[in-house]
Chain A
Amino acid sequence: MSDAVHSDVQRFLDRLSERSNARGAEPTWIAARRQAGAARFEALGFPHRRIEAWKYTDVRAIARGDFHLATDADFSPATAASLTLPLEAHRLTFVDGIFAPALSRLDELPNGVQLLPLSRALVENHEALVENHEAVGGPLGRLTGVEFSAFAALNTAFMEEGAVLRLASGTIVEKPIILQFLSRAGEAPVMSHPRILLEAGSRSQATVIEHHVGEEGAANFTNLVEEVILERGAILTHYKLQEAPLADLHVASIHVEQARDSRYTSFNLNLGGGLVRNDLVAELDGQGAEANFNGLFYGQGRQHVDNHTLVNHNAPRTFSNENYKGILDDRAHGVFNGKVVVKRDSQQIEGYQSNANLLLSDRAEIDTKPELEIYADDVKCSHGSTTGQLDEEAVFALRCRGIDEQTARGLLTLAFAGEVLEQVDLDVIAERVERAVAGKLPERFNLTGLVEAATALNEE
């Protein structure tokens, strides 16, 4: 390890020991994991581009950063209100990783739903939550071990806050559950290492919206680890709406474990962040399990958006379907790496994967790698990947009908994104993304106006 790299790692470890000293004693099982995480992180160091999984993503912006840890969750209620999704929902809000009770809504939780910040779940001997220690300590880190990546190890070393959601068998949650992460524009950049644990009991159903957003000008580092466990027949729809400020650095590792007949649907919508890396892994462990990955990434300026997905078909008769769309403008750099693995004896699998990319600028770049690794013969697997520009004939067709060029291009771009967005059941989210994409397009006013007009028409 070179000196510079070593000092980068050391800086994060120093922060960790400062934090540990300030925190004081904690239960041994947490301390032990923290230690394991720190040791692993120290051994691995930050990933570099000679590692295959990081070939196209340079994380030096994170490694060289000097991030502090936030100490409070103060946030202007007015700003928060403007950033919050206008949805009737149960909500947990975190400001720079710190739980903000004032901005959360935990009343009216239906029976069978347990939703609480991780800090409370980790506290030992807390009345009524005594069982949480074992219940949380058990699954925590089972899917995303410290071995997964240096960032997962770093998260384990720092983990303090996050969300725990548990659904009892047969619980159907009507209202969506929002996990909101706000990023503040402060004097010095901060880092947060949120840890999310979602456990859906058998035949339970819920919609979880993870929303990353913040004040303009913020430049913080978020390192998220998320473990999702779906028991038999559970149905979970998971939105990850990432609208972080453009200077934010965002790394997320999401692991999903699915038992028999469960269904997991992911919407990975990336609009913000300067450097974004998502790892989404699904383990289809029981027959009839189904995973649907929908993704959309929009990059502009010098944004770098990297999506890595992996589906492991560990059991026969499992199904996966993946559709990722990328739109890249200016000097944005997009990366897509999707992998489908069919294990030996996992017969009668269906696995589909599609990645289409639209380059709007000559200086934008996309690196894509759809992979298949198949060890069984009775399978139907396919993947497709395309990269291109807008169809000039389609642009011409629109212009013939009196639509100016910029608007025509904008409309076609929206239509390109539409294939993923029309799968989105929550109009609030679909419209928000549409507006963001339209608004970010060259002729913003025309298009935003168009979208608004269309929305208004729908409402009438």
Chain B
Amino acid sequence: MASQEMEQLVRRDYKEGFVTDIESDTVPPGLDESTIAFISNKKGEPAWMLEWRLKAYHQWLKMTPPSWAHLDYPSIDYQAISYYSAPKRDEDKPQSLDEVDPKLLETYEKLGIPLHERAALAGVAVDAVFDSVSVTTTFKEKLYEAGVIFCSISEAIRDYPELIKKYLGSVVPQGDNYFAALNSAVFTDGSFVFVPEGVTCPMELSTYFRINAENTGQFERTLIICEDRAQVSYLEGCTAPQRDENQLHAAVVELVALEDAYIKYSTVQNWYPGDEDGKGGIYNFVTKRGDCRGDRSRISWTQVETGSAITWKYPSCVLRGKHSIGEFYSVAVTNGRQQADTGTKMIHIGEGTRSSIISKGISAGRSNQSYRGLVKVGPRAKGARNFTQCDSLLIGDTCGAHTFPYQEIGNSTATVEHEATTSKIGEDQLFYCQSRGISEEDAVSMIVNGFCKDVFQELPMEFAVEAEALLNVTLEGAVG
């Protein structure tokens, strides 16, 4: 394909780029104790929660941003960010969809997610986070019947303080890392899921996150707890409107799986990646960690990462329970000037623990992508087993693909395997398709989708369709 044509295709516009004009109730930029007190007060939080936040803040002050990742971005001025933004009418929250601000509904329409229809048809409960306050939660009652608690974290702090006290920060402590500490101090919303003993959540839970107001960072905090023999599948999807200012996003997700519990956490991330010169775009610094506390528990992370200017994200599993299982399936696509440093950590502590990691990276344009993973087998993890595969596909000669897998093995009964390959789309594969009348563009799309198949088949149905579409859009025209 002529390079000009290619460039035109690569220079596609961000299809989800628009701004919904809703007045926001935003605090002036800056971060100090009073900002945190303001957030806490605004959320109607008890005193112990404010203390918890301040403790995180004081730890954060002593920390320095991590510099080890293979990322290049200007240093962030944390005092130039506004830490709270909520739709103005948060005093009288809508009780049902009819009461929801029509402009918000319009936003969802533009995204192709008609909330009511989608929720009803797909049987998905949506806790839609619009900026920082959760605006509407559907199917709450149905879940309530099953005994599942699914609400915003602010509600949980108010209504279930005992659970919050017990589990919040127990997987990702306040001082875990720079961004987790920041999140702990200023988080404004997120989801809380509690599935009691023996309950299989009757539907897939889903939250659509959106970043809207200019200059506000989004700091969600998600906490999912599965008691003994409980199961839940959680879907997280993200898009953001087109903006020129870099927007900071530092979320924390904590998963707790007790005996025989199973948590499946799927993410499709399609935030604004910046224009072709790398201007604008979301900075995404996320700490996600699952704790397999109980024996035979299982946590599975699946992610499709196509957006953000900077991605710094390592969903991890702490395999504490005997025979617990950790899984990580990832597809990351970078184009333009995107940079991604992502991977996973599998910490084998208990006997007979197993983990598998499948990571597929596709770099195009002038982007850079790294897989960074750790597999650690402790001395008590007898018979631990890990399999890791990370493959990279390079499209074009100006991108980069890197692999940094760490393996720390302290047990002779452990079996750990790692393999990685890096290559471009084979000329012969392309030729084969083209000689059968398939256009180059379609051929690339077919080959790339085949390359990612191992991961896509782990996604829930609704997401799998979306993910394939996203992939095609992101790679449009980037034929090597």
Map CB proximity to A onto B403-422 as digits: 1 under 8 Å, 0 otherwise. 11111111111111111111
Asked if A361 contacts B405 (CB within 8 A), the reply is: no
Instruction: Say yes or no: is A455 at the interface (Cβ < 8 Å to chain B).
Output: no
Instruction: Say yes or no: is A373 at the interface (Cβ < 8 Å to chain B).
Output: yes
Asked whether A345 and B397 contact (CB < 8 A) given A362-B411, A388-B415, A389-B413, the answer is yes
Instruction: Say yes or no: is B395 at the interface (Cβ < 8 Å to chain A).
Output: yes
Interface centre among B379, B398, B404 (most CB of A within 10 A): B404
A371 to B406, CA, bound (A): 9
Interfacial residues of chain A within 326-355, with CB under 8 A of chain B in the complex: 344-345, 347
Q: How far is the CB of B283 from chain A (nearest CB, A)?
A: 23
Asked if A370 contacts B405 (CB within 8 A), the reply is: yes
Asked if A381 contacts B408 (CB within 8 A), the reply is: no
A374 to B412, CA, bound (A): 33
* Contact pick for B407, options A344, A367, A373, A376, CB 8 Å: A367
Asked if B480 contacts A359 (CB within 8 A), the reply is: no
Residue of A nearest to B395 (CB): A377
Asked whether A374 and B401 contact (CB < 8 A) given A365-B410, A387-B414, the answer is yes
* Contact pick for B412, options A369, A371, A389, CB 8 Å: A389
Instruction: Say yes or no: is B453 at the interface (Cβ < 8 Å to chain A).
Output: no
A382 to B416, CA, bound (A): 17
Asked if A377 contacts B424 (CB within 8 A), the reply is: yes
Asked if B414 contacts A379 (CB within 8 A), the reply is: no
Q: How far is the CB of A383 from chain B (nearest CB, A)?
A: 5
A52 to B398, CA, bound (A): 27
Instruction: Say yes or no: is A385 at the interface (Cβ < 8 Å to chain B).
Output: yes
A375 to B410, CA, bound (A): 34
B358 contact set on A, CB distance < 8 A:
none
Q: How far is the CB of A149 from chain B (nearest CB, A)?
A: 18
A293 to B64, CA, bound (A): 38
* Contact pick for A387, options B399, B409, B419, B421, CB 8 Å: B409
Q: How far is the CB of A357 from chain B (nearest CB, A)?
A: 8
* Contact pick for A379, options B394, B396, B404, B420, CB 8 Å: B394
B210 contact set on A, CB distance < 8 A:
none
A436 contact set on B, CB distance < 8 A:
none
Instruction: Say yes or no: is A384 at the interface (Cβ < 8 Å to chain B).
Output: yes
Asked if B397 contacts A347 (CB within 8 A), the reply is: yes
Q: How far is the CB of B317 from chain A (nearest CB, A)?
A: 19
Residue of B nearest to A389 (CB): B412
Instruction: Say yes or no: is B68 at the interface (Cβ < 8 Å to chain A).
Output: yes
* Contact pick for A369, options B395, B404, B415, CB 8 Å: B404
Instruction: Say yes or no: is A49 at the interface (Cβ < 8 Å to chain B).
Output: no
A402 to B409, CA, bound (A): 33
* Contact pick for B416, options A373, A383, A386, CB 8 Å: A386
A360 contact set on B, CB distance < 8 A:
412
Asked if B420 contacts A382 (CB within 8 A), the reply is: yes
Interfacial residues of chain B within 363-392, with CB under 8 A of chain A in the complex: 379, 392
* Contact pick for B422, options A364, A365, A382, A384, CB 8 Å: A382
Instruction: Say yes or no: is B190 at the interface (Cβ < 8 Å to chain A).
Output: no
Q: How far is the CB of B24 from chain A (nearest CB, A)?
A: 42
Asked whether A385 and B405 contact (CB < 8 A) given A364-B412, A376-B397, the answer is yes
Asked if A370 contacts B400 (CB within 8 A), the reply is: no
Asked if B397 contacts A344 (CB within 8 A), the reply is: yes
Instruction: Say yes or no: is B402 at the interface (Cβ < 8 Å to chain A).
Output: yes
* Contact pick for A371, options B397, B398, B403, B415, CB 8 Å: B403
A345 to B422, CA, bound (A): 15
Instruction: Say yes or no: is A168 at the interface (Cβ < 8 Å to chain B).
Output: no
Instruction: Say yes or no: is A380 at the interface (Cβ < 8 Å to chain B).
Output: yes
A368 to B420, CA, bound (A): 14
Instruction: Say yes or no: is B423 at the interface (Cβ < 8 Å to chain A).
Output: yes
Residue of A nearest to B385 (CB): A388
Interface centre among A359, A372, A379 (most CB of B within 10 A): A372
B424 contact set on A, CB distance < 8 A:
377-379
A362 to B416, CA, bound (A): 15
A337 to B176, CA, bound (A): 26
Asked if B405 contacts A382 (CB within 8 A), the reply is: no
Asked if B402 contacts A373 (CB within 8 A), the reply is: yes
Instruction: Say yes or no: is A276 at the interface (Cβ < 8 Å to chain B).
Output: no
A377 to B396, CA, bound (A): 6
A423 to B412, CA, bound (A): 27
Interfacial residues of chain B within 52-111, with CB under 8 A of chain A in the complex: 68
Instruction: Say yes or no: is A366 at the interface (Cβ < 8 Å to chain B).
Output: yes
Asked if A374 contacts B420 (CB within 8 A), the reply is: no
Residue of B nearest to A55 (CB): B406
A377 to B395, CA, bound (A): 6
B411 contact set on A, CB distance < 8 A:
359, 362
A384 to B403, CA, bound (A): 11
Residue of A nearest to B418 (CB): A385
A362 to B384, CA, bound (A): 12
Asked if A384 contacts B420 (CB within 8 A), the reply is: yes
Instruction: Say yes or no: is A363 at the interface (Cβ < 8 Å to chain B).
Output: yes
* Contact pick for B409, options A52, A359, A383, CB 8 Å: A359
Asked if A369 contacts B394 (CB within 8 A), the reply is: no
Asked if B400 contacts A389 (CB within 8 A), the reply is: no
Asked if B423 contacts A379 (CB within 8 A), the reply is: yes
Residue of B nearest to A339 (CB): B404
Q: How far is the CB of B29 from chain A (nearest CB, A)?
A: 34
A365 contact set on B, CB distance < 8 A:
408-410
* Contact pick for B397, options A357, A378, A381, A387, CB 8 Å: A378
Asked if B394 contacts A367 (CB within 8 A), the reply is: no
* Contact pick for B392, options A345, A374, A378, CB 8 Å: A374
A372 to B420, CA, bound (A): 9
A179 to B287, CA, bound (A): 52
Asked if B415 contacts A367 (CB within 8 A), the reply is: no
A370 to B407, CA, bound (A): 9
A363 to B379, CA, bound (A): 7
Asked if A379 contacts B422 (CB within 8 A), the reply is: yes
A400 to B417, CA, bound (A): 29
Asked if B419 contacts A382 (CB within 8 A), the reply is: yes
Asked if A381 contacts B409 (CB within 8 A), the reply is: no
B409 contact set on A, CB distance < 8 A:
357, 359, 365-368, 387
Residue of A nearest to B420 (CB): A383
A370 to B413, CA, bound (A): 21
A272 to B417, CA, bound (A): 27
Asked whether A369 and B405 contact (CB < 8 A) given A377-B480, A382-B420, A387-B414, the answer is yes
Q: How far is the CB of A442 from chain B (nearest CB, A)?
A: 14
A344 to B368, CA, bound (A): 12
Q: How far is the CB of B28 from chain A (nearest CB, A)?
A: 38
Asked whether A52 and B68 contact (CB < 8 A) given A364-B412, A377-B399, A384-B418, the answer is yes
B398 contact set on A, CB distance < 8 A:
344
A52 contact set on B, CB distance < 8 A:
68
Asked if B397 contacts A361 (CB within 8 A), the reply is: no
* Contact pick for B415, options A368, A381, A389, CB 8 Å: A389
A359 to B415, CA, bound (A): 10
Q: How far is the CB of B413 from chain A (nearest CB, A)?
A: 6
A364 contact set on B, CB distance < 8 A:
410, 412
A377 to B363, CA, bound (A): 9
Q: How far is the CB of A341 from chain B (nearest CB, A)?
A: 9
Q: How far is the CB of B392 from chain A (nearest CB, A)?
A: 7
Asked if B404 contacts A371 (CB within 8 A), the reply is: yes
Q: How far is the CB of B411 from chain A (nearest CB, A)?
A: 6
Asked if A377 contacts B397 (CB within 8 A), the reply is: yes
Q: How far is the CB of B142 from chain A (nearest CB, A)?
A: 48
Asked whether A374 and B394 contact (CB < 8 A) given A369-B405, A369-B406, the answer is yes
Q: Which 9 interchain pairs have the tightest Cβ spacing?
A: A359-B412, A377-B394, A385-B418, A388-B415, A382-B421, A381-B422, A365-B410, A387-B416, A384-B419
Q: Name 27 A/B residue pairs within 8 A (Cβ), A-sorted.
A: A52-B68, A56-B408, A344-B398, A357-B409, A360-B412, A365-B408, A366-B409, A367-B407, A367-B408, A369-B406, A371-B405, A372-B403, A374-B392, A374-B400, A376-B394, A377-B424, A378-B397, A380-B423, A382-B419, A383-B403, A383-B420, A384-B419, A386-B415, A387-B417, A388-B416, A388-B417, A389-B415
B residues touching A (Cβ–Cβ < 8 Å)?
68, 379, 392, 394-424, 480
A residues touching B (Cβ–Cβ < 8 Å)?
52, 56, 344-345, 347, 357, 359-389
